Amino acid sequence: MTLSRADLILEENEIIDGMRQAYAVIERMLPTYPLFHGLVDRVQAAAHTHTCGTGISYLVFTHEGSLAQCHMHLGEASSPSQHTDALQLVAAGPIRNLSVDHKEGCKSCSYRYRCAGGCPIETFRATGRWDVQSPHCNIYKSLIPEALRLEGLRLLKLYGWLDEATHVS
């Protein structure tokens, strides 16, 4: 079943609304430990140009010893010979994990080094291209500022600068 653009926008809005509800709960009970990495899928606080290590520094072994570029590609794993360089085999696989600097729609985005353009497999499945922004770009752009705000509030609380009695979200 293929979803229409209207269906995708509806799903996108439901995800954003659901995450905002979760963020409101987190804000009421701010933890002292860092939480930014867990607030938006595929987003990291440290700048990075690739969403993950697929095709670069990551590989997956099946229970039978076959290799895949990503855990989402286990069905397409290869059986290497004992003389095969596993990293070369995986780097030459079908998934193209391009730098965010080479993805259309990402080059001028303020958040490009946080989401790195999203999951390459998801992007390819949705668009048929490796060199474009994630189909979840609007979700990232909506939620990253809110996740950063929560992390800022957490730090203010941790260092005694947030008076929880007077803090209003």
Residue 169: is its pLDDT beyond 70?
A: no
Mind listing the pLDDT tens digit for each residue in 84-116?
Answer: 777 787 788 899 999 999 999 999 999 999 999
Residue 82: is its pLDDT beyond 90?
A: no
Q: In the predicted model, what is the mean pLDDT of residues 74-78?
A: 84
pLDDT for 16:
96
Is residue 57 within 8 A of residue 26, CB to CB? The reply is no
Mind listing the pLDDT tens digit for each residue in 5-64?
Answer: 666 677 899 999 999 999 999 999 999 999 888 898 878 888 999 999 998 888 888 888
Specify the residue for token string 């290869």. Answer: 78
Q: In the predicted model, what is the mean pLDDT of residues 129-138?
A: 94
Domain-by-domain residue ranges, the chain? 54-96
Residue 156: is its pLDDT beyond 60?
A: yes
DSSP per position, 105-161: TTTT-TTHHHHTTS-HHHHHHHHS-SSB--TTHHHHHHHHHHHHHHHHHHHHHHTT-
Instruction: Please report which helix (H) or strand (E) contains residue 68, including its range.
Output: strand 67-68
Three-class secondary structure of residue 94 per DSSP: coil
pLDDT for 8:
67
Please give the model's pTM, rounded to 2 decimal places.
0.83
In one-letter notation, the amino acid at residue 48 is: H
pLDDT for 88:
80
pLDDT for 54:
92
